[in-house]
Amino acid sequence: MPTDRIHFVVNELPIAQPRHKATVMTDGAGNPIKGENGRFVIKNYIDADNPVHQFKYTVRRMAIEAMRRQNMVEPWTDVPLVLEIRILVARPTWADTMAGRGKDKQRRWPEGEFPVWKRPDLDNYEKAVMDALKGTIWKDDSQVAFYGPKHGKFYHAMGDHPRVEIACAMVDPWTTERIKTEPTIEPMTVSFNDLLELIGRPSAAYKARKEN
């Protein structure tokens, strides 16, 4: 029986998608190539030695292994999906050696996970992971309809390690009005096992609209 969800962990340092470089394409003789419009043909690329390539390979390999364990033989095709990517980056030394800043000077930084507000941007991490999963777990990125409640980038907890946690599940398209759950101040309190239940549970905003 095909699986409707998949969940796996990549125990590697998360690598964000870098900015592409551009170069003019040339022929075998080294002459610039022009297109039908008379303009030079530009090729976008990422340096071959950039660590993002190895990171994507590892994500793809772990995804294939997770698919094998769950008897998933081919990518999901033409179905909406909910995706949850948890980027856990290295905990900074200042988090364990200094107190908070501003009004929070008397408070210690959390011993558990807490949000990252520094670069790289979250969407660059998302791009690297989704590039690796395209054609593996799903056929096309457009199938990802929304993100799960624990999606984001965080500093890992004390004594823990950097990694990427990935969860994906199919969504019933007939529950479109109910798939957006209410924002929460503590997104990490919601487990992936409860994700599909949350999708099927009407939100407070949805209930209010129905009553009105």
Structure confidence at residue 45 (pLDDT) = 86
113 CB-side CA count, 13 A: 19
60-116 pLDDT per residue, tens: 999 999 999 989 999 999 989 989 999 999 998 888 776 555 555 556 778 899 999
- The pLDDT value given to residue 9: 94
As a whole number, the mean pLDDT across the chain is: 81
Mean local confidence (pLDDT), 118-142:
96
Percent of the chain at pLDDT exceeding 90 = 51
Q: What is the pLDDT of residue 96?
A: 78
**pTM for the structure as a whole:** 0.75
Secondary structure in 3-state letters for the chain: CCCCEEEEEECCCCCCCCCCEEEECECCCCCECECCCCCECEEEECCCCCCHHHHHHHHHHHHHHHHHHCCCCCCECCCCEEEEEEEEECCCCHHHHCECCHHHCCCECCCCCEECCCCCCHHHHHHHHHHHHECCCECCHHHEEEECCCCEEEECCCCCCCEEEEEEEECCHHHHHHCCCCCCCCHHHCCHHHHHHHHHCCCHHHHHHHHC
% pLDDT > 70, the chain? 75
Average pLDDT over residues 22-27: 89
Q: What is residue 198's predicted lDDT score, i.e. its pLDDT?
A: 43
Residue 2 has pLDDT above 70, yes or no: no
24, β-bridge pairs? 42
Q: Do residues 71 and 4 lie in contact, with contact meaning Cβ atoms separated by under 8 Å?
A: no
Question: Which range has the worst mean pLDDT, 27-41, 104-118, 179-193?
Answer: 179-193
Whether residue 207 is predicted with pLDDT greater than 80 in this model: the reply is no
Q: Convert the pLDDT of each residue in 143-175 to its tens digit.
A: 999 898 889 999 999 999 999 999 998 887 765
Return the exposure string of 20-38: e unless at least 16 CB atoms fall within 10 Å of the residue's CB, then b: eeeeeeeeeeeeeeeeeee
